[in-house]
Amino acid sequence: MSETAELYQTLIMDRTKNPRHAGKPAKFDFEGHGENPMCGDRVHVYVADNGTRVNHESRGCAIMVASAELMADAVAGLTLDEVTERRMAFEAMLNSGTPNPMLGDLNALSGVSEYRSRIRCATLPWSALAEALGGAK
Amino acid sequence: MSETAELYQTLIMDRTKNPRHAGKPAKFDFEGHGENPMCGDRVHVYVADNGTRVNHESRGCAIMVASAELMADAVAGLTLDEVTERRMAFEAMLNSGTPNPMLGDLNALSGVSEYRSRIRCATLPWSALAEALGGAK
Amino acid sequence: MSAALKIANFDIAAIRNDFPILSQTVHGKKFVYLDSGASAQKPRAVIDAMVHVMEAQYANVHRGLHWMSERTSDAFEAVRDKTAKFLNAAAREEIVFTRNATESINLIAYTYGRASLNPGDAIVISEMEHHANIVPWQMLRDSHGVELRVAKITDAGEIDFASLEDKFTDGKVKLLAITHMSNVLGTYTPVERLAKFAHERGAKILLDGSQAVVHRQVNVQAIDADFYVFSGHKLYGPSGIGVLYAKREILEAMPPFLGGGDMIASVSYERSTWAKPPYRFEAGTPAIIETIGLGAAIDYVEAIGFPAIAAHERALTDHALAVLSKIEGLHILGSAQDRGGVIAFTMDDVHAHDIATLLDRQGIAVRAGHHCAEPLMGRLGVTSTARATFGLYTTMEEIDALAAGLLRVKQVFA
Amino acid sequence: MSAALKIANFDIAAIRNDFPILSQTVHGKKFVYLDSGASAQKPRAVIDAMVHVMEAQYANVHRGLHWMSERTSDAFEAVRDKTAKFLNAAAREEIVFTRNATESINLIAYTYGRASLNPGDAIVISEMEHHANIVPWQMLRDSHGVELRVAKITDAGEIDFASLEDKFTDGKVKLLAITHMSNVLGTYTPVERLAKFAHERGAKILLDGSQAVVHRQVNVQAIDADFYVFSGHKLYGPSGIGVLYAKREILEAMPPFLGGGDMIASVSYERSTWAKPPYRFEAGTPAIIETIGLGAAIDYVEAIGFPAIAAHERALTDHALAVLSKIEGLHILGSAQDRGGVIAFTMDDVHAHDIATLLDRQGIAVRAGHHCAEPLMGRLGVTSTARATFGLYTTMEEIDALAAGLLRVKQVFA
Ligand SMILES: Cc1ncc(COP(=O)(O)O)c(C=O)c1O
Ligand SMILES: Cc1ncc(COP(=O)(O)O)c(C=O)c1O
């Protein structure tokens, strides 16, 4: 099914099916929520251990779950400013479809740029994270 | 101006400019009112002398005034049933455009059939008359 | 595979030729449009009718004495006659033109609702309504103090008459507002029975015909509907035009909705008086071109005929239910006895969004989401579903393509 | 006779070629359309844009994840950007699509009016409003207990600022709702001054731009308009599509108008929450094809450019005022300093209906009646008038044809 390879590639499918950061941790410092009213999808993000661990509880599509997973990988241990920087670069990459070396594995989501209505799926975990970190300021 | 001859013919123009039945009589038996909300035109009809005389006060277009005039000619002295019969024949003639021998001079208005939006102008005096004669029943 | 071809007078190839868009490709694949329930494609006849107005016979309607205006008014008003005949209304004056079904329902809520319902009165809807038949009544409830009650549906997706009876027992219900066909479950509701039910209990009935009118001959007099609404764009007509049918005596008693030109008898600063229905409810310049387009759509559908359309769609639906239920892990929502060509489904471990995107990559357009029926999603225990809907141009092959496409989706998620 | 040809970049012959309908004949005569103020004709570009949607790129908007729906949504939303730019709005979210100017004004009355005006507050309109800017306020007055005040116009047909001042003295006025250009007198109102006037007195201002937007570049930020409304069909666009501009913070605070799909954030039976503007005010399937047609109309007008359009219409109006005022017994209504191509007139001893019918026989389309401005007719001491209105395709020759036609009308009534 080559025509979908660019979006539903191995990395995304793998992380959707075998999430590494799913579930609510026993202890956490901050939490944030994201919800897409258009489809009812939602994600809850937890930041624990001084910002070195990010978890999510997700009810949504493969793109959203994979995005939450890759985000959790990408932001662990970053400063607030660095998180903001990643988020902006990530959104720019989703809009343009051009991978950005700084984003590493997050570039696996660049295919979303061809599906404008799916961009929200990919950004939802980041909104939830921003809400969580709003409490950290 | 031949192209308008069929509607604004001599009889109509003559009766519009020199009405014979215009004005409110000193004494009358019945009266009725007609008004076209779309343009604000109005006609008031008076029936006097036992139905042998019909007058009108008109504020409206040439078609309406001529129609009121020719109506006043046509119905003077008729019975209620005959008036109703004339009215129905007149309206049928306006819709079809086919003159009806029974209608005499009223056939001068047959050109109105080509101007659907003007049919109301020609029938307004007859509505006013019907209202007046409603009181006669 | 060729069941559709057996239907008398129904030449699917010729019909597809009437719809220019169907020969498009998407992502280099044949375009398979299974989203007609959201909005249908337009036949050449509708496009041509609209072009004709704009090229040869256009002016504002009603107010003009000149030739173009008279001809345009005639063409516009002829569609009112046509629509009245289409629904078998008793009179042309019972047809009000709106933008869409949504506006039609809101018009009723704002006029009939505010003038004829009193605080303490109740309105009943069902669990399978579109937001268009929920939100206007909530707004009326909140502004006007009426009560909003929701009658249950069965697990099969049919009206639960026991629950309905229950909602009516205290005698407060003045209006039953209910769909004629669910846009999620495909259920046709028993409208004659519902109308009788409501009338026997002193309530009026409003039917949301948005989906039904496309698939079945509707006879508002036989149903004894008080209100019936639909949208032109789902009936192969233009966007921007909808219909509200209401019984004459109801319309006569209704206050106006929007104020402005054409809906008045006279205007003075102190007091204005209203035109008779239907004009009382049509303020301002109407959707002239679109109304004429709707007329062409009605002609088109009637030329094919509802017996043939219904038979074709019956065959499509049967086939789709058969092939889709063979796909393991796929769950079809609803199993009403009387159901039509609207099939919503979920798949184990695959989100509806992903189904839609992966099908789209194969040229197949389906919808995914809550289908403007969030409360129904809750009732069904899902948050969103994929949905395939059929039109008169849908083929058996397209349904097979859907089934094949879904198997590929499963592979990706295997 | 060739004044129009002197305007840079304005090739009237080429422009007329863009409008297929203008080459029609009526009663065997060249078609002279002088009724653009009621509704304008459509250029090929608008017709083509609508056909393109229906033939190649159509689906319902906003809710679809598939290619056709995404592309249609993009095309639809691009018109919102275009319209925002056209009016120089500060943000695309300030543009709400409606059916027409009439619905736009009613939307404001139903939402802003009911939520932000209180019994005892007053609304001021002028003596030269269209029914669309009178009746919605009367309805609000009657349902909601606000007061409706009418500021006078001068005999020339301009806003009487002394009278306006008078209406505002008690500080109760919360809204000034006034036309940007009279559809009878052709008067342009001094909108910047009016906005400043209203704002200094604590009132908001709504401008009815139905006529003005066709002839002049509108800049809602420079005007500082709170609300601005117009219809697509007068701007060479399709019927069935209108625009409401409102400042963002005003829209944000407004409750919804119609309830249904697309205007919600979430729906449950107990409580629904509303989408952000502009979607909050766009319930149900919008006029998709018509919105895209409006986009093409805006492109068309902007490609010609308002400087050229305004210069052409200025020349037409000057010429028309000159030749018509030479006709004995003909009376032009209004003589504002700043006036445009809308000329209403009466003739001694000839009713407006008869003028229209006799001109129509010569192929010339003018309007006759009260032009949806009955109270203004009263102010002017007439019951109806004839009216010629010009569009960007109107020629000097057509104005001469009108003058010649009117002389023949006089002959018939001589
Ligand atoms: C000044 C003015 N306001 C409002 C309107 C109403 O426009 P519409 O009928 O398109 O809603 C018109 C046109 O009829 C107009 O000329
Ligand atoms: C059952 C039902 N009711 C109402 C609507 C609303 O139709 P529209 O958006 O055309 O107003 C729809 C379609 O979206 C529908 O399927």
- CA pair distance C53, C288, nearest whole angstrom: 9
Q: What is the pLDDT of residue D2?
A: 39
Handedness of CA D9, D10, D15, D17 (dihedral sign): negative
Distance CA D194, CA D205 (A): 8
For residue D277, what is the domain's CATH number?
3.40.640.10
Contact C338, C182 (CB under 8 A): no
User: What's residue C5's pLDDT?
Assistant: 43
If asked whether residues C342 and C212 sit together in one domain, one would say no
Report phi then psi at C383, rounded to 5. -105, -30
CB distance C349 to C281 below 8 Å: no
**Chain A to chain D, count of Cβ pairs less than 8 Å apart?**
17
C-alpha of residue C229 to centroid of ligand 2, in Å: 10
Are D67 and D141 found together in one domain? yes
Where among C269, C302, C335 does a domain terminate?
C302
**Which ranges of A9-118 does DSSP label H, i.e. alpha helix?**
10-17, 62-75, 80-96
Confidence class for position A134, pLDDT limits 50, 70, 90: confident
**Cβ(D160)–Cβ(D178) under 8 Å?**
no
Task: Kindly state the DSSP code that residue D112 receives in the 8-state scheme.
Answer: I
CB contact under 8 A, A117 and D64: yes
Secondary structure element (H or E) that encloses residue D50, with its range: helix D44-56
Residue D335 belongs to a domain: yes
- Asked whether residue C225 falls in the same domain as residue C316, the answer is no
Print the SS3 string covering D325-386.
Answer: HCCCCEEECCCCCCECCEEEEEECCECHHHHHHHHHCCCEECEEECCCCHHHHHHHCCCCEE
Q: Which of A106-120, C326-340, D297-311, D381-395 bottoms out in mean pLDDT, i.e. has the lowest?
A: A106-120
Active site members of C: 372
Amino acid letter for position D258? L
Query: Phi-psi region for residue D230, left (φ > 0), alpha (ψ -120 to 50) or beta?
Result: beta
Write the DSSP assignment of B32-101 as a string of letters. Answer: EEEEETTTTEEEEEEEEGGGTEEEEEEES-HHHHHHHHHHHHHHTT--HHHHHHHHHHHHHHHHH----G
Q: Whose CA is nearest to atom 16 of ligand 2?
A: C183
Place of tokens 């058969």: C322
Among the listed residues D315, D322, D400, D392, the one whose alpha carbon sits nearest the alpha carbon of residue D362: D400
Residues on chain C touching D269 (C-beta within 8 angstroms): 134, 138, 148, 150, 375
Q: Can you list the alpha helix ranges (DSSP code H) found in C285-351?
A: 288-304, 306-325
pLDDT of residue C138: 97
Give residue D4's pLDDT: 40
Please say whether the dihedral angle defined by the alpha carbons of residues C192, C198, C201 and C204, taken in this order, is positive or negative: negative
Q: Look at residue D224 and tell me if it is in a domain.
A: yes
How would you class C78 by CB atoms within 10 Å of its CB: exposed for 0-12, middle for 13-18, buried for 19 or more? middle
**Do residue C368 and residue C241 come from a single domain?**
no
With a cut of 50, say whether residue A1 has pLDDT above it. Answer: no
Q: How confident is the model at residue D7 (pLDDT cuts 50, 70, 90)?
A: low
Task: Categorize the per-residue pLDDT at D116 as very low, low, confident or very high, splitting at 50, 70 and 90.
Answer: very high
Q: Which two tokens stand for residue D253?
A: 């605070």
Residues C88 and C198 in one domain: yes
Query: Does the pLDDT of residue C409 top 50, yes or no?
Result: yes
- In 3D space, the residue among C382, C373, C22 whose CA is nearest the CA of residue C211 turns out to be C373
CB pairs under 8 A between B and C: 18
The SS3 call for residue C128 is coil
Structural domains of chain A, with CATH: 22-134 (3.90.1010.10)
Q: Is pLDDT above 90 for D253?
A: yes
Quote the pLDDT of residue A41. Answer: 86
**pLDDT at position B41, please?**
86
Q: How far apart are CA C393 and CA C389, in angstroms?
A: 11
C389 neighbors C367 (Cβ within 8 angstroms): yes
Which residues have CB under 8 Å from C142's CB, separation 6+?
A: none
Let me know whether D142 and D187 are in one domain. Answer: yes
Which chain D residue shows the shortest CA-CA distance from C355?
D65
Comparing C-alpha atoms, which of B113, B14, B39, B22 is closest to residue D413? B14
* Greatest Cα pair distance in chain D: 72
Structure confidence at residue C64 as a pLDDT band (50, 70, 90):
confident
* DSSP string computed for C25-36: EETTEE-EE-BT
- Containing B129, the helix (H) or strand (E) segment is helix B119-134
Q: What is the pLDDT of residues D42-70, one digit of tens each?
A: 999 999 999 999 999 999 998 778 999 99
Say if residue D201 is exposed, middle or buried (CB neighbours under 10 Å; 0-12, 13-18, 19+).
Answer: middle
Average pLDDT over residues A85-93: 96
Biggest distance spanned by C-alpha atoms of chain A: 45
| Atom from ligand 2 closest to the CA of residue C372 | 14
Q: What is the pLDDT of residue C6?
A: 52
Which residues are CB-contacts of D361 (< 8 A; sequence separation ≥ 6)? B1, B3, B4, B7, D27
**Can the peptide bond before residue C278 be classed as cis, meaning omega within 30 degrees of 0?**
yes
Is the pLDDT assigned to residue D336 strictly greater than 80? Answer: yes
Do residues D138 and C259 touch, judged by C-beta distance below 8 A?
A: yes
Mean pLDDT of the region D386-399: 98
Q: Are D129 and D104 in contact (CB under 8 A)?
A: no
CB atoms near residue C357 (< 10 Å): 28
D64 CA from centroid of ligand 2 (Å): 14
Task: Find which of A27-36, B125-134, C180-189, C270-279 is predicted with most confidence, using mean pLDDT.
Answer: C180-189
Looking at chain C from residue 209 to 248, which residues have their Cβ under 8 Å from any Cβ of chain D?
231, 233, 238-241
The partner residue sitting opposite A4, judged by closest CB among C351, C361, C370, is: C361
Whether pLDDT at A17 is above 50: yes
Choice among C394-398, D7-11, D334-338 with the minimum mean pLDDT: D7-11
pLDDT confidence bin for C8, thresholds 50/70/90: low
Average pLDDT over residues D293-311: 97
| Residue C19 belongs to a domain | no
**Residue C410 pLDDT more than 70?**
yes
* pLDDT band of A2, cuts 50, 70, 90: very low
- Count of the separate structural domains present in chain D: 2
Q: Mean of the pLDDT values across residues D310-328?
A: 97
E-assigned strands of D103-220?
122-126, 147-151, 173-179, 204-208
Task: Kindly determine whether residue C63 and residue B116, on different chains, have CB atoms separated by under 8 Å.
Answer: no
Instruction: Dump the DSSP string for C376-393.
Output: HHHHHT-S-EEEEE--TT
Positions of D annotated as catalytic residues are 372
Residue D8 lies in a domain: no
C166 and C296 belong to one structural domain: yes
- The two tokens of residue C349 are 């471990």
Specify which residues C388 forms β-bridges with: C343
Are residues D214 and D319 located together in one domain of the fold? Answer: no
Q: Return the ligand 2 atom nearest residue C103 CA.
A: 11
**Domain co-membership, C295 together with C407:** no
Looking up residue D406, the CATH number of its domain turns out to be 3.90.1150.10
Q: What is the pLDDT of residues B71-88, one digit of tens each?
A: 999 999 999 999 999 999
Q: Write down the mean pLDDT value for chain D.
A: 95
Whether residue C21 is contained in a domain is answered as: no
Rounded CA-CA distance C57/A127 in Å is: 53
CA distance D308 to D106: 33
Does residue D12 lie within any of the structural domains? Answer: no
Q: With 90 as the cut, is the pLDDT of residue A11 above it?
A: no
Strands C342-347 and C385-389: antiparallel
pLDDT digits (tens, 9 = 90+) for D159-196: 999 999 999 999 999 999 999 999 999 999 999 999 99
What whole-number distance in Å separates Cα of residue B2 and Cα of residue C89? 45
Ligand 2, CB within 6 Å, residue ranges = C 100-102, 130, 132-133, 179, 183, 208, 210-211, 231, 372; D 261, 284-285
* Mean pLDDT, chain B, integer: 90
Among candidate residues D276, D302, D328, the one where a domain is terminated: D302
The whole-number pLDDT of residue C196 equals 98
Q: Are residues D104 and D239 in the same domain?
A: yes
SS3 C404: helix
How many residues are present in chain C?
414
pLDDT at D18 over 80: yes
Which has more confidence, B4 or C247?
A: C247
Q: Which domain holds residue D97?
A: 49-302
Is D31 among the domain residues?
Answer: no
How would residue A135 be classed by pLDDT, with cut points 50, 70 and 90?
Answer: low
Q: Is residue C62 classed as helix, strand or coil in its secondary structure? A: coil
Distance CA D54, CA C165 (A): 45
A1 to C412: CB separation less than 8 angstroms, yes or no: yes
- Assess C65–B contact: CB distance below 8 Å, yes or no: yes
Give Cα C402 to chain centroid, integer Å.
Answer: 24
Whether residues C210 and C240 share a domain: the answer is: yes
Report the pLDDT value the prediction gives residue D128, as an integer from 0 to 100: 98
Other Cβ atoms closer than 10 A to B48: 18
Average pLDDT rounded to a whole number, residues D393-405: 98
Question: Which amino acid makes up residue D16?
Answer: R
DSSP secondary structure, D263-314, as one string: SEEEE-SS-EEEPPTTGGG--SS--HHHHHHHHHHHHHHHHH-HHHHHHHHH
DSSP C259: -
pLDDT of A12 higher than 50: yes
Please state, for a pLDDT cut of 70, what percent of chain A lies above it. Answer: 93
Task: Phi first, then psi: give them for residue B55, nearest 5 degrees.
Answer: -120, 165
User: Does position C3 have pLDDT exceeding 90, yes or no?
Assistant: no
The answer to whether C384 touches C351, Cβ cutoff 8 Å, is yes
Share of chain B above pLDDT 90, in %: 72
In angstroms, the CA A68 to CA A73 distance is 9
Task: Kindly state the tokens that stand for C187.
Answer: 């259920």
What CA–CA distances, in Å, run from C66 to B59, C77, D359, D384, D390?
21, 16, 8, 16, 16
Question: Of C274, C302, C330, which marks where a domain is finished?
Answer: C302
| D57 φ, ψ (degrees, to nearest 5) | -155, 65
* DSSP-derived pairing of the beta strands D29-30 and C95-98: unpaired
DSSP secondary structure of C364-380: EE-EEE-TT-HHHHHHH
Q: What are phi and psi of B59, to 5 degrees?
A: -130, 95
Does C237 fall in a domain?
yes
D241: contact with B, CB 8 A cutoff: no
D114 burial via Cβ count (<10 Å: 0-12, 13-18, 19+): middle
Give yes or no: residues D130 and D189 share one domain.
Answer: yes
What are the distances in angstroms from CA B97 to CA B93, B126, C70? 5, 18, 17
Quick check: D413 contacting B, CB < 8 Å?
A: yes
